Each structure stands twice: as C-alpha cells, then as structure tokens.
C-alpha cells in the first residue's frame, strides 16, 4: 500500500544538471523524515542528503552542488543536482523514515554522467 515512485534520472554530460523526484503515497507524509541515497556498482549505498529532525544534511561531495527539498502538500521529495561529475553515476534511491513506524524505499532511478 506504500509506494514511492522516483523519476528524473537519465544520461547527462559532466557539468549538467538533473532533478530527481520521489512521490509517496499510502502514508502520512508529514510524519516521515526523507532522504536520498545512491549506490554505484560494487560500492556501498550511502546517504546523499536528508531532512530529519528539521535539519538538512548532505554528504561532503553533495555540499554546494545538490539540494534536497520536500513539498508536503504533494508528498514529494526532490533532489536537485547541479555540476554533475562522472563519479555521481549511480542508482539513486529515495527513502522515507519514521523510526517509530517504518521506513520505505523507492525503486531507484539511474543517473549516468558522461564525459
């Protein structure tokens, strides 16, 4: 009954931009923290950015380039990615989390940055 549907990934040249979206349904969105994770082949999944406890957090590589935001009226979390680099290539996953309830993952969207 809970669905997180991601979109916005694709192929982009280095230096370009993408905006990822994740639309949640089946939950009271306001009750959840949100985050974006990414995983490259052979690598661990790591946290890109999150909004939790009213605080916005970014991985070092994302600071100054990526912006996470949420629109509670639309039950949507966004990740704006600018100045993309080759090493940003990964599958990006959104997550909503309430430690007292549950956490849920989106299906992932592929971001490929080319030279």
Q: Would you state the pLDDT for residue 42?
A: 94
Are the beta carbons of 81 and 88 closer than 8 angstroms? yes
The band of 13, judged by pLDDT with boundaries at 50, 70 and 90, is very high
In angstroms, the CA 62 to CA 102 distance is: 26
Are the beta carbons of 5 and 105 closer than 8 angstroms? no
In angstroms, the CA 75 to CA 89 distance is: 26
In angstroms, the CA 78 to CA 84 distance is: 16
Are the beta carbons of 28 and 14 closer than 8 angstroms? no
Interval 96-112 mean pLDDT:
96
Tell me: the pLDDT tens digits for 42-100? 999 999 999 998 899 999 999 999 999 999 999 999 999 999 999 999 999 999 999 99
Tell me: the pLDDT tens digits for 21-58? 999 999 999 999 999 999 999 999 999 999 998 899 99
In angstroms, the CA 109 to CA 47 distance is: 15
SS3 of residue 99 by DSSP: coil
Are the beta carbons of 114 and 12 closer than 8 angstroms? yes
Q: Would you state the pLDDT for residue 53?
A: 85
């Amino acid at each position: 009954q809970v669905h997180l549907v991601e979109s916005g990934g694709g192929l982009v040249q280095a230096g370009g931009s993408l905006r990822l979206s994740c639309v949640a349904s089946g939950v009271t969105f306001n009750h959840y923290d949100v985050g974006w994770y990414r995983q490259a082949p052979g690598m661990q999944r790591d946290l890109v950015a999150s909004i939790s406890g009213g605080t916005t957090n970014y991985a070092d590589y994302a600071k100054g380039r990526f912006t996470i935001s949420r629109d509670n009226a639309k039950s949507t979390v966004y990740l704006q990615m600018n100045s993309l680099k080759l090493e940003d290539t990964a599958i990006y996953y959104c997550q909503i989390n309430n430690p007292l309830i549950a956490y849920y993952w989106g299906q992932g969207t592929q971001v490929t940055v080319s030279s």
